[in-house]
Structure 1
Amino acid sequence: MTRRRDFLALALASAASAAGFRPAVAQGATSLDRIKRSGRFRIGVTSAEPWFFKDPMAGTWSGVGIDLGTALAGELGVTMVPVETSWANCVAAIQADQIDVMFVLDPTEERRKAIDFPDAPLFYYAAGALVRPDQTATAWSDLDKPGTRIGVTLGTSVDRMVTETLKSASVSRFANNDEAVAAFAAKRVDAVAQFHPALVVQYARLKLGKVILMKPVTPVATSAGIRRDADPAFRTWLGERFATLYAAGKPQESFASYLRTRGIDPATVPGLVREKWV
């Protein structure tokens, strides 16, 4: 399933190039050059709290990814521009020069074949599950039973992990996090697997079930997807900025700020700093 999705993403990128969406590399300029020259830093956004949230009334975006994009755009002296995409299509959007970066995109082996990633991680999270109040599962194997229905978001790292790990449970894939949790609320799935920050926000809004960090808790380093340039200037710059921002606690600061807007006390949930999980 993962290989089919990556193949489709590559095919879409090729079609986009044929239609006139030429990557910056083909134009003889690096991504960093193009961003500075255009005055626009285009970040991919999709419905996925706490990373990206679109106010349905104002049409404005907020979240950890928006904060990071705004901060980095400011350092470059350009304007941050959100461009709507999806986790399943963002690789093709990067290749087709529709966006410059997709934050909170895990550097999987398949994705590395198509796009590039900075060396330094953006921050860390761990896979968890939103389950019914009476569910006693503490490990993925506890959920891997015939008749158990697991909801995941299509094209995410958790989708890949659940597909590879769970052999007996039924896996249902949804276009975004909200749809997966809506299916849980409607009892069309028995559990939703996502990374723990997204589940915490969804639980606070739903007030249904409970969030479990499935054991063993394995920190996952997330990053940001970018085009593969012959000149590594943009990748190097992003990697340096990620390391500095993580050391200064900026991703956690943005995460805590967003949680407060949802009425969640940041002190009550695991954050984005793996060193504090012990």
Structure 2
Amino acid sequence: MKKILAALVVLVTIGTGSYSYAASAEKAFARVEKSGTIRCGYFTWQPAFMKDPNTGTLSGINYDFMDKVGHFLGLKIEWAEEVGIGSVTEALGAGRIDVMCASMWPDPAKMFHTEYTLPTYFSAVYAIVRGSDKRFDGNLNSINKPEVKVCGIEGDITANASRAAFPQANFVGLPPTADGSQLILSVVSNKCDVMLGDAPLLIDYSKTAPGKIRKVAGVDPVHVFGEHLLVNKGEHHLKMMLDTAITTLVNSGEMDKVLDGYEGVYGAPEKAFKPLR
């Protein structure tokens, strides 16, 4: 393991000339190297990451993938802290976690304080409404009106992407500690009319409450986002190590094996949305 980490340090030092790992502030990488453990943060967003409310058992796409990352790198994966979606930057900056291992969509607001890895897979993101609400079918632009309430989680891409896609709509912000299920409940309870979410999240909720929510019909996805891990700003060696693991596991088909395990259960993540395909 230490040979792998040492090789990564040498490569980055050579590639950047005067850059010195010893002089850097890469505290998370140093912790990982010393302990042999990646301390992961997580939040729940079905089926990417799930936590059984009764037993506390963790599961999901990200959980399974990080197990493979740990095996590839020869590192232990410790699920150290459940973090609010809007509080990821603070958790990384404070050193409470080394990596946000529940994958996130790229959010420009977070890029000033965090580093995004290469994507592990891709998700199509849709406008989701109440099952009976057909006002926006066939025309996403009809959402972009002051009388329409669009909700998202403050400090998260669900808020920033919603504001960007529908700037004239009435934005309703949920607290940074909220998760995907609370976004859905805001739509169902009429606190807002529209939210952005991926198909697996919708399918998971619809299992227990069929017909309550649906995608806006007759329109394309609002976005196609990569699913990225996050590290603190300046953690270049840690990011490079994770990027190497991600590239290897994606190219070898190991990521597809993880995704295949969720086919037909939550709806396949959008594996078709890949660059250059």
Say whether the fold is shared (TM-score over 0.5). Answer: yes
2-structure distance, mates of 1:234, 1:159: 28
Asked whether the 8 Å contact 1:127–1:195 carries over to 2, the reply is yes
2-structure distance, mates of 1:209, 1:237: 40
Identity %: 19
Is 1:221 matched with 2:218? no
Do the aligned partners of residues 145 and 226 (structure 1) sit closer, same or farther apart at CA in structure 2, a change above 3 Å counting? same
Is 1:45 matched with 2:49? no
- In the superposition, the TM-score normalised over structure 2's length comes to 0.76
Asked whether the 8 Å contact 2:148–2:169 carries over to 1, the reply is yes
1-structure distance, mates of 2:73, 2:203: 33
Q: Deviations along 1:131-174, whole A, 9 cap, x unmatched? A: 23341424531212333222323332231011123233222223
* Deviation of the 1:242 alpha carbon: 1.6
Do the aligned partners of residues 92 and 60 (structure 1) sit closer, same or farther apart at CA in structure 2, a change above 3 Å counting? same
Opposite residue 167 of structure 1, the aligned amino acid is: P
Structure with bigger gyration radius: 2
Q: Please, what is the CA RMSD of the aligned residues? A: 3.0
- In the superposition, the TM-score normalised over structure 1's length comes to 0.76
Q: Deviations along 1:163-213, whole A, 9 cap, x unmatched? A: 123233222223111111122222332232223333333333431232248
**Greater Cα shift, 251-260 or 162-171:** 251-260
Aligned partner of 2:12 in structure 1 is none
Aligned residues: 248
* Deviation of the 1:57 alpha carbon: 1.1
Aligned partner of 1:126 in structure 2 is 124
Q: Identify, as 1 or 2, the structure richer in strand.
A: 2
Asked whether the 8 Å contact 1:123–1:273 carries over to 2, the reply is no
Task: Give structure 2 stretches of 5+ with no counterpart.
Answer: 1-20
Is 1:211 matched with 2:215? yes
Aligned partner of 1:75 in structure 2 is 72
* Deviation of the 1:26 alpha carbon: 9.0
Q: Deviations along 1:74-97, whole A, 9 cap, x unmatched? A: 223332222110121111111111
Asked whether the 8 Å contact 2:144–2:169 carries over to 1, the reply is yes
Opposite residue 230 of structure 2, the aligned amino acid is: G
* Deviation of the 1:276 alpha carbon: 10
Aligned partner of 1:113 in structure 2 is 112
1-structure distance, mates of 2:249, 2:27: 23
Asked whether the 8 Å contact 1:107–1:225 carries over to 2, the reply is no
After superposition, where does 1:92-107 map in structure 2 within 5 Å? 92-103=90-101, 104-107=103-106
Do the aligned partners of residues 43 and 140 (structure 1) sit closer, same or farther apart at CA in structure 2, a change above 3 Å counting? farther
After superposition, where does 1:77-92 map in structure 2 within 5 Å? 77-82=74-79, 83-92=81-90
Do the aligned partners of residues 154 and 63 (structure 1) sit closer, same or farther apart at CA in structure 2, a change above 3 Å counting? farther
